[in-house]
Structure 1
Amino acid sequence: MNKTININLANVFFHIDEDAFKKLDSYLKAIERYLSKEQSKDEILQDIEARIAELFTESTAQVNQVITMSQVNAMIGIMGEPEAYMMEDDEEPSSSASPKFKASRKLYRDLERKYVGGVSAGLNHYLGINTLLIRLFWVISAFFSVGGTVAIYVIIWILIPAARTTAQKLDMQGEPVNLSNIERKVKEGYSKFADKVGDIDYEKYGQQTKSGLTKFLDGLGEVLRALGVFLSKFLGIVLLLISGPVLIGLLIFLFSFGTISVFELGDFSQIEIFVLGIPNWIQIVLFFLVAAIPFFYLLILSLKLIFSNLKSIGKAAHITLIGIWVLSVIVITTLSVKKQLDVSYDAEVIEVIDLDISSGDTLQIRMNPNLMFSEILNQSKKSKIVKDEFDNERLFNSNIHVNFKSTSDDELKLRLTKKSYASSKARAREGASFIDYKYNLEDNVLKLDSYLLSNPEPTERNAKVEVTIYIPENHVIYLDENLNNFNNRRNLDRSKYNHYLNYKNDDWECLDCITTADTLSTQN
């Protein structure tokens, strides 16, 4: 019966029989001799021992708890003999992977090429898909899933282990974990580290020792830095989800409204924002530039937060964009101020007319439309250019307001107020005098035009007509329902139109309305 020896490989305890131990010890010493001149000898030996411990752990789980000669031979077959690598060093370098080796990658997070958690870089090794495409997939899917993909990314980050040891890095890349590859990988890491710290004052820092508090603060700093990187990437994704759709919407606005304006496919005079007094397509371009340039910079900021190595668009581009934005703001502001100055003064032309109707006669009031100008009978501030019966261009709008007031006089009166707005008092008074508004009283029927006409120069806010009818007490009035959209009195219910009314103390009394009580008494 062979004697059993307890050994410690990479902090893992194993039981091994004596013969197997002698071969393992001889194998490790041969490796140590082979690496005697390497500066990174200790790191390579640690990784080799960790790999051997991993292979022994797998074999003992399948067979028994004692390492035998056959298991040591199997391990050496996987790891390779040191003499073979000594011979390769004297020959021309070849691929570290055996031609018989079939790549079998394991999924790990690649911390050396990470932007956030190394998930995309790890999937790049495992799936063979370009890292940039994987990262773009995360960003785009996060947009369409309303942030749901972010939660999936975090879960994958937690579940997939990081490739920290040399063996894990080789497994991640699909390379055989043997002596040659372990040595090469450690040397690469050692070389990178040496390049980074080559300029450090070793004499200065070699004399310093870290206390427990210093180590704690260093660890805390690493955690905070990692958290800061994650938050910056997350903020970048949020900003991308905001700026991207807004820019797309602004481009749709530019091309759709711009096409309609350039080819005159529609009339923008009915839209409140197009009131700067310049061609509509120029207004569209100005509005687009003022809104789109800030969101373009927001998009650039989001991409820089996500991809830290993204190049700048250049100083010339910055100056050009900022200059265009400032100029657009100045033009819009100037035209808006001018627009307000154009309507900063108002003037009125007032007429008071006695309506020749006896106190016992009923006055019927209705609006009088003109189908040549509009088919819609409705109050509106919108204007348009029309041609009158003499083929002259006139500015048409239906900004007509009809009001009713009670009076102690015995006569019906009509007060007609024509209002205009302009950049000066004189121009406003002149504009008010040019307003053409008509009414007609015939057979006790007062017909009020539902529109006004004025010179085509003023904008849509520059003309308004108020019609106020003063009604004596106990004088019967009949209001046509088409007055409803022009009357501003809130105390007149819609149900009282097309009925005979008495207006008293600023309130309407219906004379021929059938109440619920009257209906019940009739039924009884």
Structure 2
Amino acid sequence: MNKTISINLGGFFFHIDEDAYQKLTRYFDAVKRSLSPEGRDEIIKDIESRIAELFQERMKNETQVIGLTEIDEVISIMGQPEDYRIDEDNSYSSKSTFTTSTSRTRRLYRDRDNSILGGVAAGFGHYFGIDPLWVRILFIISPFISFGTSVLIYLILWILIPEAITTSQKLEMRGEAINISNIEKKVKEGIGEISEKINNIDHEKVANTAKSGANQIATTIGDLFLAIFRGIAKVMGVFIIIFAAMSLLGIIIGGIVMMFTSSMPDTFIFNHVNTPFEINMPLWLQGLLLILSVGIPLLFFLLLGFKLLISNMRPVGNYFKIALLGIWLISIITLAYFGIKQATEKGYEGKTVHREEIALLANDTLYVKMTYNDFFTKNVRNREHGKYTHDENNNEIIYSNNVRLHLMKSETENAHIQIEKTANGKSHIDAKSYAEKINYNFEIQGNRVNLDNYFTTDFKNKFRDQEVDIYLYLPEGIYFYPEESVSKFLTNSNSDISMYYGEEDNLYQLKSKDLDCLSCPAELIETENDSLNENVIIKVNDKEVNIKLEENSLNIQTK
């Protein structure tokens, strides 16, 4: 049984058995011996960080012990010291045909070594394998095309894209394999550049002073913008957390209530729970889909808020995110299926029309009144757009006040009324069938018209956007007397005559397409001089009303 040793490698703790530890130690000793003193410490540090990264990729859990198998795999990737050499001209030459380097995916970093501002353009140049100059030209031109949004995009990228600091990150940025030879090569290239700059410092001192000052200013500005946007990001994170948490809680509570409410009678559900799918889709399924389709995006928003607020937050596992994404897609597809089905159920409109003449005598006044059934309500002004209930005979019905009154100009000298009942269905025939099953009543008694302010239909017909439209056709010059609550059901939609703006229980006369109030308080009636002193006699409530126009006054007498 081998002993287990705990080591700190590249800032990470690992458990490694004794044989593997000895082999790893011998490997590091061999690497150190093969390196020249120049830059050795930095090279060893980068090699340790790379080996620690490879160990982490192979660990399935935190308690796993690293053995000889993992050591051999890492050494095969990093390579043996005797398999390479760095010539004086910094070119790489292999001493043997054995190849230890492996290709690696190119990663996006900011290159501050070749930067003008934040190194974003240089990083994209390395990532796409193009000259950074073209990327910089694109960023310079784009503000004129995108109305300045590209500047904001550049600043956001500056914040989000990490800087390539270590040698391993710089190799990843260029898509080069991260092994011992490339690490040493990169470090020595950096040392060579520093030495060359020191040797040429006298010749370039003046030019580099300006460039150094510009870089320092750019770095300061960049750090300032970075600090500002980090602060903004944290504030946004707080708002996102509050919004997402409250919304997610509300969605979960609402979904659970819907799931448990599904056991209630249909009448209770329809009267107390409003959903886009009504009761054609099981309510428990609607609640579940509500939680999944809306709750999952809110959960990701919540995680995003925490990510903005906590920079070192542990990331969510990929399997968990993929599973949630799959569940969300299934819920969206299910909602789309039921949504299409729901739209099909109400895709067509059907209508029935009933017309009836209103016999009026000369100088008669047309009285119109909205009536109500006190079994369903105790006030004519109460409104219900759709309610499951029962009638006097205990029949289950749908009760609705979705009744509209349209005032129309008659082309003849006679008045008439037209009742149109409409409903929706999955076909024209189906929709018309639902319209025919609407129960609506009205009554004409001489010069009086009593209109129900409600309609009913059988419970089994469900709610199919049933409506009742009343078209009241009035001839020119007719006297019109609307009684209580008529104005509450009037509409200008599809109407010829503008709605009157006076109160009920006042006398109006139709002139052209306007209703002039003849008895409204403080009503000013303008007339031409040649029409003054004209007498008008009309009948109101079986009494004669004599309306006499005099200069600057209106005299009304009853007989």
Taking structure 1 as the reference length, the TM-score comes to 0.54
Deviation at 1:273, TM superposition (A): 4.7
Letter in 1 for 2:371: N
Match of 2:504 among 497, 500, 508: 497
1:391 and 2:391 equivalent?
A: no
SS in 2 for 1:353: strand
1:320 aligns with 2:323: yes
Cα distance in 1 for partners of 2:233, 2:372 equals: 58
Measured in 2, the distance between the counterparts of 1:452 and 1:285 equals: 35
Aligned to 1:206: 191
- Secondary structure at 2:502 match in 1: helix
1:254 corresponds to 2:263 = no
Using the alignment, how far apart are the partners of 1:496 and 1:254 within structure 2?
45
Q: Identify which of 459, 472, 476 aligns with 1:473.
A: 476
CA distance in 1, matches of 2:377, 2:283: 24
Give the structure 1 partner of residue 420 of structure 2: 417
Whole-Å Cα distance in 2 between the matches of residues 375 and 253 of structure 1? Answer: 36
Q: CA distance change for structure 1 residues 504 and 271 in 2, over 3 Å: closer, same or farther?
A: farther
SS in 2 for 1:237: helix
Report the counterpart of residue 241 of structure 2 in structure 1.
244
1:342 aligns with 2:345: yes
Correspondence for 1:506 among 480, 505, 513: 513
Shift of 1:309: 3.1
Aligned to 2:277: 275
Report the Cα distance in structure 2 between the residues aligned to 1:522 and 1:415, rounded to whole angstroms.
36
Give the deviation of 1:478 after TM superposition: 1.4
Residues 450-472 of structure 1: CA distance to partner in whole angstroms, max 9, x if unpaired? 11112334554521111111223
CA spacing shift, 1:246–1:363, aligned 2, 3 Å? same
Counterpart-to-counterpart distance in 1, 2:376 and 2:293:
37
| Counterparts of 1:270 and 1:382, CA distance in 2 | 13
| Secondary structure in structure 2 of the residue aligned to 1:478 | strand
Which residue, out of 330, 351, 355, partners 2:354? 351
Offset at 1:516?
Answer: 5.5
- Structure 1 residue ranges without an equivalent (≥5): 1-197
**Does structure 2 conserve the Cα–Cα contact (< 8 Å) formed by 1:341 and 1:423?**
yes
RMSD of aligned residue pairs (Cα, Å): 3.6
Contact 1:232 1:305 in 2 (8 A): no
Deviation at 1:299, TM superposition (A): 2.9
CA distance in 1, matches of 2:469, 2:554: 43
Contact map agreement 2:351 2:435 (CA 8 A) in 1: yes
Q: Is the 8 A contact 1:382 1:460 kept in 2?
A: no
Verify the 8 A CA contact 1:499 1:512 in the aligned structure 2: yes
State the distance in 2 between where 1:398 and 1:330 align: 36
Identity within the alignment, %: 20
Q: Shift of residue 522 of structure 1?
A: 8.7
Does structure 2 conserve the Cα–Cα contact (< 8 Å) formed by 1:254 and 1:285?
Answer: no
Q: For the Cα contact (< 8 Å) 1:353–1:415, is it kept in 2?
A: yes
Distance 1:520 1:288 in 2: 70
> Shift of residue 339 of structure 1?
2.3
Does structure 1 retain, via aligned residues, the 8 Å contact 2:403–2:467? yes
Residue 350 of structure 2 contacts residue 431 of structure 2 at CA under 8 Å; is this kept in 1? yes
| Residue 442 (structure 2) aligned to one of 439, 451, 454 | 439
Checking the alignment, whether the CA contact within 8 Å between 1:236 and 1:304 is kept in structure 2 is no
Amino acid at match of 2:392: E
Contact 2:251-2:295 at 8 Å conserved across structures:
no
Q: 1:269 and 1:236 mapped to 2: Cα distance?
A: 44
Aligned partner of 1:206: which letter? I
The reply to whether residue 485 of structure 1 matches residue 488 of structure 2 is: yes
1:430 aligns with 2:433: yes
Alpha-carbon shift at residue 344 of structure 1 (Å): 1.9
Deviations 1:255-293 (A, max 9, x none): 553465435697565776543532445434433433332
Q: Does 1:453 align with 2:434?
A: no
State the Cα distance separating 1:401 from its structure 2 match: 1.0
Give, in angstroms, the shift of residue 414 of structure 1: 1.0
Residue by residue over 1:1-56, the C-alpha shift from the partner in whole angstroms, topping out at 9 and shown as x without a partner, is xxxxxxxxxxxxxxxxxxxxxxxxxxxxxxxxxxxxxxxxxxxxxxxxxxxxxxxx
Give the 3-state SS of the residue equivalent to 1:382 in structure 2.
coil
Report if the CA contact (8 A) 1:473-1:503 is conserved. yes
Change in Cα spacing, 1:473 to 1:441, as seen in structure 2 (3 Å) is same
Q: Which moved more, 1:314-323 or 1:223-232?
A: 223-232
Q: What SS does the aligned partner of 1:413 have?
A: strand
CA distance in 1, matches of 2:379, 2:277: 23
Task: Report which of the two structures shows the higher radius of gyration computed on alpha carbons.
Answer: 1
SS in 2 for 1:208: helix
Look up the match of 1:401: 404
Matched, 1:361 2:389: no
Q: Which amino acid aligns with 1:428?
A: A
Structure 1 residue 418: deviation in Å? 0.9
Q: Which structure ranks higher in relative contact order (CA pairs < 8 Å, sequence separation ≥ 6)?
A: 1
The number of aligned residues is 327
Counterpart for residue 47 of structure 1: none
Q: TM-score, normalized by length of structure 2?
A: 0.51
Tell me the secondary structure at the aligned position of residue 484 of structure 1: helix
1:135-158 deviations in Å (ceiling 9; x for gaps)? xxxxxxxxxxxxxxxxxxxxxxxx
- Are 1:515 and 2:522 an aligned pair? yes
Q: Is the 8 A contact 2:400 2:455 kept in 1?
A: yes
Please say which of residues 227-236 and 354-363 is displaced more in the overlay: 227-236
CA apart distance, 1:229: 5.2
Would the alpha carbon gap of residues 202 and 465 (structure 1) be closer, same or farther in structure 2, given more than 3 Å must change?
Answer: closer
